[in-house]
Structure 1
């Protein structure tokens, strides 16, 4: 059955997911707040700033009109930066109240809300009343827009407290190159998605400093321990962190040049300031606010997260990258299982 899907956010990941949903036989409208981007997608079927050289399906419709995007919609996919998730949800609700639609709400963004430190499904639950939605689900896992665009093999997770909703998301997205598993641990999936960006900044910084594979493997492994520790403290299931949205997403984000967070860390390791990195990136670096959120949550729960604390010191206290690496290595010995 053909479904109408509104994809809110037309950056690299949002536009590629929208394109794939069209390939899967759905009617898709991609919403953006930039007129020029909508015009480019509709007329040239390109999105050069975000995915250079890629040609989108001609049936993909782009618009800046939220009412048009949400008219008769069966599903809404949020792929907007964390900092505007709440605002876009508020704008969407006023439209849904007019048109009477009750879609499944899905998000594929990765982060924690700055200030409240809430997971993104919590933000959506707060802003979208139950009468305006059928369920809330999360799509997450090791996935780069650049590789999905090339139809490289990709496996992700659809998570929802409502397992039937997770299965609906699975059916919506799954095809020959994009495989979707279901999970009901929304907390674990979202915490893994947000916190892996923090560790990816650290992995990039090690590369920028010239360290090799041993150091990167150690950072990823100990970083996963920190992610699991904090996630479980908030109710996540431990096994989720050795799944696609945990170790899988961490590996791809902490080792790939496609990762903005890895690239940001790499530039920090090479001596650039955080502001210089932000100015040259041209796209949102979710790991920067996520580091602050993770650091403050760890303080709140009294959880040891030395790698996260070190990255926080670099980003927010101006500490030298080399010195924080030395401090980490010179910490007192402890058991690996602590």
Structure 2
């Protein structure tokens, strides 16, 4: 049997961490995987050097994961096609806004037998309707696509702190391959046959993390308040998934991709952090805060919040999801941060006997 060639598409902090996980396991399973892991790097100049060359010579992603040594079997390649040619496993770990162009460039150029995985926490809206990133990958590349989501803040995983992730994959054989590619003694994985819910939870929790950050930054309440926002947000996540994906499995919400990721993101993570500063510094735009705090990386939460709002508004369902609504309107400055809590205090949950 030929060995699986692996490409990680995206070299931000999480993409670099994922490349490390894969690189460790390609060496662990030499009869299954090609030992090299190819990392597509959007070329940038850092201190006068090309980022891809820095990674290949020092084994450090000095732009997005400074201070951490990556395995030397990771090969950084700044050309998308060269990074992906002949690959059997394509792992997408890049900002959602780049997916259409990346898929367009790879169309008709990937192996017909390839399999894909998305770790992108977001979704698109096409013709007013929700469209999963995995669906875009399947449609454009004509390959099956699973999803991996979980309570996996990059800084903790690169330090090898114990955590979990969830793989949503409806093909048992592919689940086994992905599990061997990414699981380690500190990064444990559960596989569930519920691709859509796993992927959606990864997107929706970012919006609730923004809500948690707004509460923290505005000092609108105690930990009691924040816990209430998280619980109500969790309910909205479940209701949104059930509304648009009728085959959603309730038990999936108790996996790492949902409840655990929601908790982790609401107390750590970039969406919560930036939202806290957003509440404290109303004179600054979201773009300015992203540039200052994220070294040019983009938040996925505000994009997801806008997409949720557009879908719900189109179907006249906005009022049934007060937290999703309030987060979007606050982040685009249609309502002041001081009014955020007023928008959620009469939540439909509280009218249920």
For the Cα contact (< 8 Å) 2:168–2:196, is it kept in 1? no
Going from structure 1 to structure 2, the CA distance change for 1:18 and 1:207 (only over 3 Å counts) comes to: same
CA 1:324 to 1:69, structure 2 compared with 1: closer, same or farther past 3 Å? Answer: same
Aligned counterparts of 2:124 and 2:347: Cα–Cα separation in 1: 33
Equivalent position SS for 1:109: coil
Distance 1:12 1:326 in 2: 36
1:283 is the counterpart of 2:297: yes
Q: Which residue of 2 aligns with 1:314?
A: 330
Q: What's 1:243 paired with?
A: 255
Alignment RMSD, CA only?
Answer: 2.0
Deviation larger for 191-200 or 271-280: 271-280
1:1-338 to 2 correspondence within 5 Å? Answer: 3-24=4-25, 25=27, 26-34=35-43, 36-96=50-110, 100=111, 102-114=113-125, 117-129=130-142, 133=143, 135-210=144-219, 211-235=221-245, 236-256=248-268, 259-272=269-282, 273=284, 274-281=286-293, 282-301=296-315, 302=317, 304-329=320-345, 331=346, 335=350, 337=352
Unaligned runs of 5+ in 2: 28-34, 45-49
Residues in 1 aligned to 2:106 and 2:347: alpha-carbon distance in whole angstroms: 51
CA deviations on 1:169-193 (whole Å, 9 max, x unpaired) are 1121112111111111111111111
**In structure 1, C-alpha distance between the alignment counterparts of 2:56 and 2:331, rounded to whole Å:** 39
Shift of residue 239 of structure 1? 2.2
Inter-partner Cα distance in structure 1 for 2:105 and 2:94 = 13
Contact kept? 1:136, 1:165, Cα under 8 Å: no
Q: Tell me, in whole angstroms, the C-alpha distance in 2 between the residues paired with 1:171 and 1:198.
A: 31
SS at match of 1:15: helix
Report the Cα distance in structure 1 between the residues aligned to 2:173 and 2:74, rounded to whole angstroms.
27
Shift of 1:103: 1.4
Tell me the SS of whatever aligns to 1:199: helix
In the alignment, the residues of structure 2 paired with residue 41 and residue 125 of structure 1 have an alpha-carbon distance, to the nearest angstrom, of 30
2: CA distance, partners of 1:213 / 1:76: 41
Cα pair distance change 1:92/1:206, threshold 3 Å: same
- Paired residues, number: 328
Distance in 1 (CA, whole Å) between partners of 2:125 and 2:43 is 24
SS at match of 1:118: strand
Q: Cα deviation per residue 1:50-103 (whole Å; 9 max; x = unaligned)?
A: 11211111221101123332233221111011111121122122432xxx4521
Q: Show structure 1 runs of 5+ residues with no match.
A: none
Given the superposition, is the C-alpha separation of residues 334 and 203 from structure 1 closer, same or farther in structure 2, using an over 3 Å criterion? closer
Q: Confirm or deny: 8 A CA contact 2:148 2:199 kept in the other structure.
A: no
Using the alignment, how far apart are the partners of 2:63 and 2:125 within structure 1? 26
* 8 Å contact kept, 2:167–2:189: yes
Pair 321,66 (structure 1): closer, same or farther in 2 beyond 3 Å = same
